[in-house]
Amino acid sequence: MNTWRRICACGTVCMTVLLISSLVQAESRVIDLFDGRTLDGWTTESGSPVTQGWQVEDGLLVRHERGGAIYTAEEYGDFQLDFEWRIAPGGNSGIKYRVAFYEKGVRGNPGHLGCEYQLFDDAGRRINPKNSTASIYDLFAPNDKKQLKPVGQFNHSRIVARGTHVEHWLNGEKVVEVDTTSDEWKRRSEESKFGIVEGFFQNPRGRIQLQDHGSKVWFRQIKLTLLDEE
């Protein structure tokens, strides 16, 4: 009996240790990209501290005036990015990911480019579906599961990038899914303004960008889960 108790106790302890270890590992893969108080971890395109255009208001990260896009200081490969956002009436913004520098970008000009999760006031302006909220900007429109909340209310969005597989989610529904090595991706890229950009979005890692497109936009709960280690 005593031996059995010792075995049970050991088994319980071992299972507890394994559970705690798993929880610690899971938590270590989740990164808060916005702490609700500061702009720590975000930079300008050149890597300098953010000093204009963006600020923290009541625990929200806000693009309130012209200041240019801001970028994560770190690059990420495979990840799941969850964030909540709202936009001003008629607003236009977006989140770009795996952003890289291209010597010959759109219209032949050098610049940073990445795949874009479009953020838009769909009801406020007529818009091509491929440029509407949750689209892969200029390439893939959301499907009919898309449910966008009225302007001024917070939406929950998710981007999943794992290898060449990309997903866009909006308010709990997967609305875009594509493989960036597929013939359809290649065709649509070539037909878009990214057609002249050699190797567009074929890089496995890059920074995340919050776009400055002239509109006021609010973000909160920006959490990135690393998938590289799974």
Residue 94 to residue 131: CA distance in whole angstroms: 10
Q: CB under 8 Å to 223, separation ≥6 — which residues?
A: 30, 31, 32, 33, 81, 82, 83
Residue 143 to residue 124: CA distance in whole angstroms: 20
pLDDT at 149: 97
pLDDT at 229: 59
User: Which tens digits make up the pLDDT trace of 113-153?
Assistant: 999 999 999 998 888 999 999 999 999 999 999 999 999 99
Q: CATH fold of 33-226, please?
A: Jelly Rolls (2.60.120)
User: Which tens digits make up the pLDDT trace of 15-64?
Assistant: 444 444 444 344 558 999 999 999 999 999 999 999 999 999 999 999 99
Residue 78 has pLDDT above 60, yes or no: yes
Q: What rounded mean pLDDT belongs to the chain?
A: 88
> What's this model's pTM, rounded to 2 decimal places?
0.86
* Average pLDDT rounded to a whole number, residues 72-91: 97
Dihedral sign for Cα 139, 212, 93, 62, please.
positive
pLDDT at 184: 95
Q: In the chain, pLDDT over 70 holds for what percent of residues?
A: 87
Instruction: Residue 41: name the closest of 67, 12, 74 by CA.
Output: 74
Burial bucket for residue 55 (CB in 10 Å: 0-12, 13-18, 19+): middle
Helices (H) and strands (E) in the chain, counts: 2, 13
pLDDT at 111: 81
Give the start-to-end residue ranges of the domains of the chain. 1-31, 33-226
Q: What are phi and psi of 77, to 5 degrees?
A: -105, -90
Q: What confidence category does residue 7 fall into, taking pLDDT thresholds of 50, 70 and 90?
A: very low
pLDDT at 200: 85
Look at residue 99 and give its three-state secondary structure: strand
Q: What confidence category does residue 154 fall into, taking pLDDT thresholds of 50, 70 and 90?
A: very high
